[in-house]
Amino acid sequence: MENQNNVTEFVFMGLWGNKQMELLFFFLFLFCYLAILMGNVIILLTITCSHLIGQPMYYFLCHLSFMDLCYTSTVVPRLIRDLGAARKNISYNNCMTQLFTAHLLAGVEIFILVSMALDRYVAIVKPLHYMVIMNRQRCSMLIFMAWGVGFWHSVAILLVVLNLPFCGPNQIDHYICDVKPLLKLVCKDIHVVNILMIANSGMVVVAVFLVLVASYILILYNLRTCSSLGRRKALSTCSSHVMVVILFFVPCIYIYVLPAGSENEDKEISVFYTVIAPMLNPLIYTLRNMEMRIAMWKVWSKIAHSKFR
């Protein structure tokens, strides 16, 4: 534990070493973050201020948008600041806080996506019992379980990293404090730790992704008995979920299944689930969802009417 105190701060190497490139991406990521804030706030307000909040699918979507807001706010503001800063440093304690918070919120988001897949499965396979099975109490329990699993996952990672000795160098080849770039700085053999991290993150992500794929295959199989109108509506909703799952899970699998010592494009690929996916989620769920567009028009028309009356 004494060795650990040799490093009191870390320095991010960032995404690119080119200063002109970083200035360009400063404005690009600032635009992306503003789009994330605006898009997810619109979804939150639309759902909470309309009848949609009573439907399980939109109840989960509301929580997903909240997670996107929280998760990106732990990563993107610092990334934007560092792109415009001469020195991209972060204290040891703040680094551990970012590591814990990012994995907590990402873990919660993953299991909210599982809950959304379960909701669609019940809606299509057992439509007559849908509101009984997916009642508000059970939906709230699923959200509570998502927070519990996310907390367990992030605590396990944090406890492992806190007990690792960092003797120097202190340059993180990334733009956030994450497990793999931190493990590269550890001054001891990390073979066992690599296995633990792959089991905690990589295998869990793969297992959840396979469960989601299996659930959507079952949904497609059961759509054979639906009417053409019901089939189109179900496919429209499920295709939105599948797009979100692919945007989030495929980059995560690429990053967390490979061991820390491997040379790959981790920091470039991680942009997909830290910035791009949270920015596209509101567009995917609104542009492809007629019910959401109608509710959005009613809510925002009411807000505009009350404001200018």
Q: Which amino acid is at 81?
A: R
Ranges 34-43, 213-222, 292-301, most confident = 34-43
How, if at all, do strands 89-91 and 171-172 pair? Answer: unpaired
Q: Which amino acid is at 37?
A: L
pLDDT band at 5 (very low <50, low <70, confident <90, very high): low
**pLDDT tops 50 at residue 138:** yes
For the segment 150-155, the average pLDDT, to the nearest whole number, is 93
Q: Could you report the per-residue pLDDT of 228-285, keeping only the tens digit for each?
A: 766 676 677 777 788 888 888 988 888 888 776 656 677 888 888 899 989 988 888 8
**pLDDT tops 50 at residue 79:** yes
- What pLDDT is attached to residue 2? 45
For the segment 222-230, the average pLDDT, to the nearest whole number, is 70
The share of the chain scoring above pLDDT 90, in percent, equals 33
String of DSSP letters for the chain: -TGGGG-SEEEE--S-S-HHHHHHHHHHHHHHHHHHHHHHHHHHHHHHTSGGGGSHHHHHHHHHHHHHHHHHHHHHHHHHHHHT-S--EEEHHHHHHHHHHHHHHHHHHHHHHHHHHHHHHHHHHSGGGHHHHT-HHHHHHHHHHHHHHHHHHHHHHHHHHHTS-B-S--EESSSS--HHHHHTTBSS--HHHHHHHIIIIIHHHHHHHHHHHHHHHHHHHHGGGS-HHHHHHHHHHHHHHHHHHHHHHHHHHHHHHS-TTS---HHHHTHIIIIIHHHHHHHHHHHT-HHHHHHHHHHHHHHHHHHH-
For the segment 120-138, the average pLDDT, to the nearest whole number, is 88
**pLDDT tops 50 at residue 3:** no
User: What pTM was computed for the model?
Assistant: 0.88
Q: In what order do the strands lie in the sheet with 171-172?
A: 89-91, 9-12, 171-172
- What pLDDT is attached to residue 261? 62
Domains and CATH numbers, the chain: 9-307 (1.20.1070.10)
Q: Could you report the per-residue pLDDT of 27-75, keeping only the tens digit for each?
A: 999 999 999 999 999 999 899 988 889 899 899 999 999 999 999 999 9
- What pLDDT is attached to residue 219? 82
Q: Report the mean per-residue pLDDT for the chain.
A: 85
